[in-house]
Amino acid sequence: MKILAVDTATKSCSVAVIDKSSLLAETTIVREQTHSKHLMEMINRVISLSGLALSELDGFAVTRGPGTFTGLRIGISSVKGLAVASGKPVVGVSSLDALAMQASFSPYLICPFVDARRGEVYFSRYRFINGYLKKQTEEQVFPPEKAVCDINEKCIFVGDGALLYQEMLLKKIGESAFFAPSIQNTIRASTVAYLSMNRFEKYDTDNLDLFIPHYIRRSDAELNLTNS
């Protein structure tokens, strides 16, 4: 099964094509520009590098959130456009699941942090049990201090929010705080593709008409309007 995956949930932008468990091509960039400036060029390049044609792909995977509002809209709308044009299915993947998978095989509690701005993080908790990643809590958004207030065991943090609040986390939970290698803090599209594969194989794909970003909280514009 050949899957093209896209991630635009944070400042990084990543595109990959996999064939079952084999990575055929992948590119990831981090730029201050909006992802709309380079995403379609990246998609076309990765498809070309994979040696496949668009018609040979079996489906598309994309991070559905949480993450930046503009980034998620760009990634999802681009993938939905490709799906409509090709008639191929789409699977949405949690950006937190992807980050947790990149820190899997850890014996510790896994806590991905995605910067939500406004002094908050999107987060969830996971454990790697018997070779499988198991989600322990629902996805939430809180100030980082509150997100870890009940952690009393060793925990590995991963994601751009973990980098941003590393000093605070060390002060808050001390020697129980561990941090993933820096390269793992950027979501890779190949991870998104890997996580989607089980759903594709079960024909458990998303309804394009109902598929929207998973924001968790309202946008900054909506919050500013409420507070004005």
Alpha-carbon Rg of the chain, whole angstroms?
17
**Whether pLDDT at 227 is above 80:** no
Q: Which pLDDT value is given to residue 135?
A: 97
**Mean pLDDT across the stretch 34-48?**
96
CA angle at 137 for the pair 206 and 178, rounded to the nearest 5°: 115
Phi, psi of 108 (to 5 degrees): -95, 165
Domains and CATH numbers, the chain: 2-95+186-227 (3.30.420.40), 103-185 (3.30.420.40)
Residue at 6: amino acid letter: V
Q: Which pLDDT value is given to residue 219?
A: 56
**Whether pLDDT at 112 is above 80:** yes
- Which run of H or E residues covers position 126? strand 126-129
- Cα separation, 158 vs 155, in Å, equals 10
Name, in order, each residue with C-beta under 8 angstroms of 146's C-beta and a sequence gap of 6 or more.
none
- What does pTM read for this prediction? 0.93
DSSP letters spanning 164-192: HTHHHHHHHHGGGEEE--GGGGSPPHHHH
17 band by pLDDT with thresholds 50, 70 and 90? very high
How far, in whole angstroms, is CA 3 from its chain's centroid?
16
pLDDT tens for each residue of 60-89: 999 999 999 999 999 999 999 999 999 999
Question: Which residue(s) pair with 22 in the sheet?
Answer: 19
